[in-house]
């Protein structure tokens, strides 16, 4: 059993680390959403608050992905290129997240859900948006941002 666990870790360590830090980033994203909703209201949390919490989560994700997931060792110009690719990909998924939140939270939610359940609906939409974003972010990080160059 121990050998099997070691083999699975060796084979899937990167994915496991990505999921671990992805869960942390997702929790941060959801906590920030709840804070913005409590401070500024439902619509603000689903619009500009969602953009702001995504920016904070992008910075957190870059640091964790670079340091612990993909263990990037780039420096100087290469590190700057890596960061700009990361941010570019994350901005794309930010737009996807914002679209899911706006359509699901501000358009579909009020049309289908009773007002007393709208906050719960919004949280469900936020979780769905995060699942889509986490999958897209891993694919982009693996194939575009932190891809290993052959020498």
**Residue ranges per structural domain of the chain:** 2-145
Closest CA to 106 of 47, 38, 36: 47
pLDDT > 60? residue 151: no
Q: What per-residue confidence (pLDDT) applies to 95?
A: 92
Per-residue pLDDT tens for 6-17?
998 989 999 999
Mean pLDDT of 28-52: 89
Per-residue pLDDT tens for 112-140?
999 999 989 999 998 899 889 888 989 99
Q: What per-residue confidence (pLDDT) applies to 1?
A: 86
Per-residue pLDDT tens for 67-126?
999 999 999 999 999 999 999 999 999 899 999 999 999 999 999 999 999 989 999 998
Binning pLDDT at 50, 70 and 90, where does residue 150 land?
low
Which percentage of the chain shows pLDDT scores above 70?
Answer: 98
pLDDT > 90? residue 149: no
């Amino acid at each position: 059993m121990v050998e099997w666990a070691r083999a699975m870790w060796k084979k899937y360590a990167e994915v496991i680390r990505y999921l671990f830090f992805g869960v942390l980033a997702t929790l941060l994203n959801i906590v920030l959403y709840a804070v913005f909703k409590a401070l500024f209201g439902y619509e603000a949390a689903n619009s500009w608050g969602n953009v702001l919490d995504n920016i904070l989560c992008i910075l957190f994700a870059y640091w964790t992905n670079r340091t612990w997931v993909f263990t990037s060792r780039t420096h100087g110009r290469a590190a700057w290129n890596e960061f700009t690719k990361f941010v570019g990909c994350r901005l794309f998924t930010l737009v996807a997240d914002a679209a899911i939140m706006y359509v699901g939270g501000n358009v579909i939610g009020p049309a289908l859900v009773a007002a007393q359940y709208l906050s719960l609906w919004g949280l469900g939409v936020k979780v769905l948006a995060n699942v889509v974003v986490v999958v897209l972010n891993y694919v982009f990080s693996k194939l575009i941002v932190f891809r290993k160059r052959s020498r």
